Each structure stands twice: as C-alpha cells, then as structure tokens.
C-alpha cells in the first residue's frame, strides 16, 4: 500500500488539473479534459482517446458516487500513467451509482499492456472518496497548485486511516 501511495503522489505531481470545467455531460466532459491536457502538451489524439474512454463507459459507468467519477482507458503509445483531474461546481451527469452528479472527475490514462498501478491508485482514491469531507476540501481548491497539494495531503492522511 505504501508503494502505491508513493507512486500515486508522483502521478499527482505530474498531473493535469482543470478547475470548474464547462461540460455537464459525461461524453463532453471526457473530451474537454483530454483536449485541455493535449493543449498543454499531452501527446494524444483528443478525439480518439475520448472515444476509447467513452467506450469503457458504455460497459459500466465510472461514476462511483459520492460526487466522484473515475473514467479510464489504456493507450498503446503512452509511456506512463497520466492523471487528468477536473472539477465542476454544477456537477456532471455521470450515471453514478447514487444518481448524483460528479463534481470531481479523475481520468486515468495508462499504458496498454504495461504493469500498471491503476487498480491500486483507483482503490486509494475510491476509499478516500467515501469520506465526503475530503472530496469537498479538494473541490475548494482555487489553483492547480493548491489542488495538487490538498489531494496529496488528504491521500496521505487517508492512507494512514485505510
């Protein structure tokens, strides 16, 4: 668990963070997050990548509930895991288990075929997402730097409790 936490902290430090995204539905949100990351240097085709993520969503929604969604896909030409965070004040209709909108979207892009820590990272975030106060504290971030700092601090605190 400790190694997974260290790995996740490194991924958060290198992540993309977009506060208060505009989209309100799942498909548009996924595309918006990937397009914004691509405009900041992520070397992926936004439309093809969004289509792959959305293809996974057709099988089972990544809307876990508690205001959090965890969309994911693996990509052939990706060298390492990429995290893209999006927040939404109004919420995104993500077909969540609890039928409530997602306000924190954590998009995982992982290398295809590589030994990925995705499941361990997802587990850490999922366990933490049930603690609603932690999600609210992350959502109150005003800058990308503050968001990353809070996410790391809360994961470390939560990791000690889990």
Residue % of the chain over a pLDDT of 70 = 83
Average pLDDT over residues 4-12: 80
Please give the Cα distance from 90 to 105 (Å, whole number).
13
Reply yes or no on whether the pLDDT at 155 is more than 80. no
Please give the Cα distance from 18 to 30 (Å, whole number).
12
Average pLDDT over residues 114-127: 62
Helix axis angle, 46-59 to 26-39, nearest 10°: 150
pTM here is: 0.87
Task: Give the number of other Cβ atoms within 10 Å of residue 112's Cβ.
Answer: 12
Q: What pLDDT shows up at residue 81?
A: 87
Of residues 83, 91, 43, the one with CA closest to residue 65: 91
Please give the Cα distance from 113 to 64 (Å, whole number).
25
Average pLDDT over residues 50-63: 86
Instruction: Grade residue 161 by pLDDT with cuts at 50, 70 and 90.
Output: very low
For the ranges 11-25, 102-116, 143-157, the one whose mean pLDDT is highest: 11-25
Average pLDDT over residues 146-157: 85
Of residues 145, 57, 149, 146, the one with CA closest to residue 105: 57
Helix axis angle, 132-139 to 118-129, nearest 10°: 100
Do β-strands 68-69 and 82-92 pair in parallel, antiparallel, or remain unpaired?
unpaired
Q: What pLDDT shows up at residue 153?
A: 84
Mean pLDDT of the chain: 84
Instruction: Grade residue 83 by pLDDT with cuts at 50, 70 and 90.
Output: very high
């Amino acid at each position: 668990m400790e190694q997974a936490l260290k790995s996740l902290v490194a991924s958060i430090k290198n992540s993309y963070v977009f506060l208060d995204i505009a989209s309100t539905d799942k498909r548009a949100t996924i595309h918006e997050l990937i397009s914004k990351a691509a405009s900041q240097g992520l070397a992926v085709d936004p439309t093809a990548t969004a289509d792959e993520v959305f293809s996974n969503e057709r099988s089972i929604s990544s809307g876990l509930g508690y205001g959090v969604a965890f969309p994911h896909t693996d990509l052939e030409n990706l060298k390492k895991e990429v995290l893209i965070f999006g927040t939404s004040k109004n919420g995104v209709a993500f077909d969540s288990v609890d039928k409530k909108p997602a306000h924190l979207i954590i998009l995982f892009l992982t290398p295809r075929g590589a030994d990925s820590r995705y499941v361990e990272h997802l587990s850490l975030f999922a366990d933490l997402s049930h603690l609603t106060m932690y999600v609210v504290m992350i959502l109150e971030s005003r800058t990308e730097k503050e968001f990353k700092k809070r996410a790391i601090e809360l994961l470390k605190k939560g990791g000690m409790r889990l």
